[in-house]
Structure 1
Amino acid sequence: MSTLQRWVSFLVLSMSGGIIFQVAYIRFVFLGPTTEALRLSAQDYGNIISVFGAVAVFMYFLGGWFADRFEPRTLITVALAGTGAADLYLAQAPGYWGALAAHVVMAVMGMGLYWPALVKAIGMLGSSSEQGRLFGFLEGTRGVTSTVVGFAGTAIVAMAVAQSAGVIWLIRLYGVLCFVFAALTWLFVKSDAGRLAELGSSSVTLRQLWRAVRNKYTWLIGITAMLMYCFYTTLGYFSPLLENRFGMAAGLIGVIGVIRTYVFQFVAGPAGGVVVDKVTKSSPRLLRWMFVGSAAVALVFLVLPHQPAYKWVALGLMFLLCLFVFTSRGVYFATVGEVEIPKNERGGVIGLASGIAFLPDAFLPSLCAWWIGDPTATPAVPEQGGGYTTLFVFLLAMALLGVLVTTLTTRARARDLASRPAPTPAPPTVPATA
């Protein structure tokens, strides 16, 4: 494969990563308008998103099986085309069961076929010494692509007569783009059989999972990521809070959503890695400070009056929370290497820890929908759910647990290092006699 072919393949693959998940996670930018556009209640949409999350977690474990048996280009093409079809079907507002089916298809295509194949396809584009740069640029390109299409989507929704109508057109656009990138992938992405063979298996075996279950760091890493992921999952629910409680202009909500979801992704993530390398020298230590900051933000939101006079304070707090969340996302799994988990066990540890980490997607959207109710209703907060007070009490509890778990991780690592036998000193050298 020539250098030009590698770069073209890399750009097509990386940009597709900024497209394929747009509709599945559109709630992070347009929660209320999407619910209205699909003609669903807030609770029904929350339930659908939770089912999507549950299927995604399951497919994460199964995806390696597909990646080991089929060519990455084929899997990525099928996944993009399948997601495009699901997007266009969803744009018809097919009702609860139709929307549920579309989201299940998106989870299977995205997590089962696309993601493990993308990891292999990117890996085959460079030597072992180039993997860090390749995946770093992958995240950067995905982030830039998501930001560009996100701002374009915001403009489409803003120009529409009704936001819900704009969201329908936006879902159609994302569906068409998926088909475009499916064609580009099939035409321009080339496979390197030799490099694919060197990458080895993507599947996580039962033996690896069993070893991971018995490793204390699997649970410490997975639970740490899960607790911070609770904050990430709930970020989309800050949009109705800003608009309906603090009086933020509806036209700004989409722009704020793009900044919150995508800009912080490619700015704060790399920054977290730099801070670990240069300042804390430890991922759990950085994560502990991120949980402390997140707890402070949740606490302030609990006592901040829901009045328009405080809308810019609320916006600043939300952006500060985004900084903490996305800085953490950049170093979740750096702990795997830091605690020196053997390479032959890392696949199982990362696989099981990832399954634990993403569990909030399987229940939290449904729970949040029950807590805050229909954000357009007056009053918007149902008594039985507890409203945003319950949400921020929950987040405060997750942050405090995060401080505890990261402290336990740091202490466990210190005990492991202390239990190592001291290195045997080298015998003194005897000076040679004349």
Structure 2
Amino acid sequence: MSAVAYKWFTFVVLVLGGGTIFKLSSLKDAFYVPMQEFMGLSNTQIGMALSVYGLVQTIGNFASIYLADRFSKRKMISISLVGIGLTGIYISTFPGYMGILISWALLSFWGEIVYWPVLLKAVRLLGTSEEQGRLFGFLEAGRGIVDTIVAFTALAIFVGLGETAFALRGSILFYSGIVIAVGIVSYFLVEDDKVSQEVLEGKVSQSKVAFDGMLKAIKMPEIWVVSFMIFSVYSVYCGLTYFIPFLKDIYGLPVALVGAYGIINQYGLKMVGGPVGGFLVDKKFHSPIRYTRVALIIAIIYMVIFMMLPHKNFNVYLGMVLTLGYGAIIFTMRAVFFANVDEIDVPRDISGAAMSIACILGYAPQLFCFALYGYLLDSYPGFTGYQFVFSCMIGFSILGVIISTVLLRMVKRRKAMVQ
């Protein structure tokens, strides 16, 4: 097998892992009611499990700054996938409430702390600087495809087995089995990290190399600026969730169309936005930072015009098209925002630490954005509440434009110093 073919075959394996590892932690997406009926969980208990997941993720990502470069990505990826699968097998026994809390804590540990930063590191190391947009874009699109196929297959298993407690166990075991299988395949196809000559000769330990790399990443200001740029984009992305109630409340979106819109909004745009964003970054802008700035400016203009439109005079299908159009812009940025790490010339041996820092700050909006947007809608009923939400999204977009402008200047200054 040629080097190019091997690279893309490895990439497919990474996509399979990225598209399956979070299905168990997102079990509620397809099986919320069955979880209540057959596992005896209340709304509060399911919510608490998700809160535990988020808490472990937030605290644990600080540890991943060190862990992501301390151990081989081949071992980290395969072990975490198998760990997720084994946790899923335990969940299929329908443990008590405490067992559920422990399970979701483990799902967060394996998926968010051990796996995700290392996956991003592995994807970055697969290609050159000229390929980063396409790699991360196709990663997002591929995950969307795998996510959709696996979710619908699990749902088919549940229906085919009679929608009983046994059927739910079957679906959970399917999720568990497929992620374990991908973990085993990953062990044989994902390469080990390259170890420095000093480590090979015993002059320094791998632990010290990882610790020094962590400190190096923490002291690199460009990594933090990139993380805040991701933060701004993700804050806007969180707002896309509220297009569903917006269409329902303002346009009278029929219940029959809610599910279809949700699938297009989450899976369809991901599959389209990834390749489009990657192509634009690599072939047109030759810079993920520059593309992000332009896309954010377009998003600002789009949303300002959108807020001024006479929505009550439009039919629901036009409303769907308008909101999906805005979502498509955001998804092109979301697909490639980790490609920015390469543009700031982060040394490849600290890629894991850099990605971990980006995850800590970049995903931080999920800790407060949903609560903020929900509060605004509850406090200001009707179109006024949505105007406040959309205004916040514009504000985060403006913040992103400012940060990306600062970052471009930092990159230009760094290149000038090198020359």
Do Structure 1 and Structure 2 share a fold, with TM-score over 0.5?
yes
Q: Secondary structure at the match of 2:113?
A: helix
Contact 1:218–1:353 (8 Å) recurs in 2: yes
Partner of residue 188, structure 2: 191
TM-score after normalising by structure 2: 0.73
Deviates most, 50-59 or 290-299: 50-59
Partner of residue 105, structure 2: 104
Cα distance in 1 between the residues matched to 2:363 and 2:223:
14
**Distance change >3 Å, CA 384–CA 317, structure 1 → 2:** closer
TM-fit CA distance, 1:121:
8.9
Q: Deviations over 1:239-275 (max 9, x none)?
A: 2332343211222222222222222223222222221
Q: Which runs of 5+ in 1 are unaligned?
A: 373-380, 422-434
Partner of residue 411, structure 1: 409
**Distance change >3 Å, CA 48–CA 267, structure 1 → 2:** same
Structure with more of its chain in helix, by fraction: 2
Match of 1:40 among 39, 43, 49: 43
Cα distance in 2 between the residues matched to 1:137 and 1:367:
31
**Distance change >3 Å, CA 234–CA 156, structure 1 → 2:** farther
Contact 1:84–1:178 (8 Å) recurs in 2: no
The residue identity in structure 2 corresponding to 1:53 is G
Partner of residue 19, structure 1: 20
Cα distance in 2 between the residues matched to 1:382 and 1:34:
32
Deviates most, 307-316 or 283-292: 307-316
The residue identity in structure 1 corresponding to 2:16 is M
Partner of residue 375, structure 1: none
Cα distance in 1 between the residues matched to 2:142 and 2:207:
23
Cα distance in 2 between the residues matched to 1:235 and 1:274:
23
Cα distance in 1 between the residues matched to 2:341 and 2:124:
20
- What number of residue pairs does the alignment pair up? 398
Contact 1:89–1:102 (8 Å) recurs in 2: no
TM-fit CA distance, 1:221:
0.6
**Distance change >3 Å, CA 246–CA 106, structure 1 → 2:** farther
TM-fit CA distance, 1:357:
0.7
Match of 2:177 among 177, 180, 183: 180
Q: Deviations over 1:71-115 (max 9, x none)?
A: 75443212123145447749x9x6xx8876554333123223444
In the TM superposition, 1:63-102 aligns within 5 A as 64=68, 67-68=71-72, 72-83=77-88, 85-86=90-91, 89=94
Partner of residue 338, structure 1: 343
**Distance change >3 Å, CA 317–CA 55, structure 1 → 2:** farther
Deviates most, 271-280 or 112-121: 112-121
Cα distance in 1 between the residues matched to 2:195 and 2:405:
35
Cα distance in 2 between the residues matched to 1:65 and 1:25:
27
Q: Deviations over 1:6-65 (max 9, x none)?
A: 9999867643532331354578x7799899986537xx9777655533422433443538
Cα distance in 1 between the residues matched to 2:386 and 2:166:
31
Partner of residue 203, structure 2: none
In the TM superposition, 1:300-315 aligns within 5 A as 300-304=305-309, 307=312, 309-315=314-320
TM-score after normalising by structure 1: 0.71
Q: Secondary structure at the match of 1:181?
A: helix
Contact 2:78–2:183 (8 Å) recurs in 1: yes
Q: Which runs of 5+ in 2 are unaligned?
A: 197-205
In the TM superposition, 1:318-337 aligns within 5 A as 318-337=323-342
Contact 2:217–2:350 (8 Å) recurs in 1: yes
**Distance change >3 Å, CA 364–CA 51, structure 1 → 2:** farther
Match of 2:267 among 262, 269, 287: 262
Cα distance in 2 between the residues matched to 1:135 and 1:278:
14
Deviates most, 15-24 or 169-178: 169-178
Cα distance in 2 between the residues matched to 1:288 and 1:123:
21
Deviates most, 134-143 or 236-245: 134-143
Partner of residue 273, structure 1: 278
Q: Secondary structure at the match of 2:346?
A: coil
**Distance change >3 Å, CA 74–CA 348, structure 1 → 2:** closer
Contact 1:230–1:360 (8 Å) recurs in 2: yes
Cα distance in 2 between the residues matched to 1:295 and 1:128:
32
The residue identity in structure 2 corresponding to 1:227 is S
TM-fit CA distance, 1:324:
1.7
**Distance change >3 Å, CA 5–CA 420, structure 1 → 2:** closer
Partner of residue 59, structure 1: 60
Contact 1:50–1:361 (8 Å) recurs in 2: no
- RMSD of Structure 2 on Structure 1 (CA): 4.9
Partner of residue 221, structure 2: 216
Q: Secondary structure at the match of 1:196?
A: coil
Contact 2:81–2:179 (8 Å) recurs in 1: yes
Give % identity: 25
